[in-house]
Structure 1
Amino acid sequence: MEFERLLEDAKKGNLNAQEEIIRMYKPLLIKNSMEHNVFDEDLFQELSITLLNCIMKFRI
């Protein structure tokens, strides 16, 4: 239930809620930002932006 509230707040533009969701998914974002065992910061940023865009489109 807490996550649902966090999503609602993030969709409304609450930056703290958006940051919290990014923190929750940071390990997954980092894992998917690795190319040949090297961290790609640009890819991390793109994935983070994609996550935020998905939050805005997600229907609760």
Structure 2
Amino acid sequence: MEFEEYLEAARQGDLKAQEEIIKMYRPLLIKNSMERNVFDEDLYQELSITLLNCIMKFKT
């Protein structure tokens, strides 16, 4: 499945598609969850939620 297909499925509530997109962006989410070289789990969760919210608002 290509990204666009995952995106559309995720927008329609497909949890597997949402999970795949999170996996695709996991390295970036982890990188941006580092605070002074320490992983911040709360920040990771907030970034993940923000990503999912952006997916739901994305207009095709």
TM-score (norm 2): 0.97
Distance between the aligned counterparts of 2:48 and 2:58, measured in 1?
15
Cα distance in structure 2, aligned partners of 1:2 and 1:27: 19
Unaligned runs of 5+ in 2: none
| Range with greater deviation from structure 2 (1-10 or 29-38) | 1-10
User: How many residue pairs were aligned?
Assistant: 60
The CA deviation string for residues 21-59 of structure 1, in whole angstroms up to 9 with x for no partner, is 000000000000000000000000000000000000011
The AA in structure 2 aligned to 1:2 is E
Which 4+ stretches in 1 moved above 6 angstroms? Answer: none
RMSD over equivalenced CA pairs, Å: 1.0
Match of 2:52 in 1: 52
Give 1:21's aligned residue.
21
Please name the residue that 2:31 is paired with: 31
For residue 13 of structure 1, give the secondary structure of its aligned residue in structure 2: coil
Percent identity over the alignment is 78
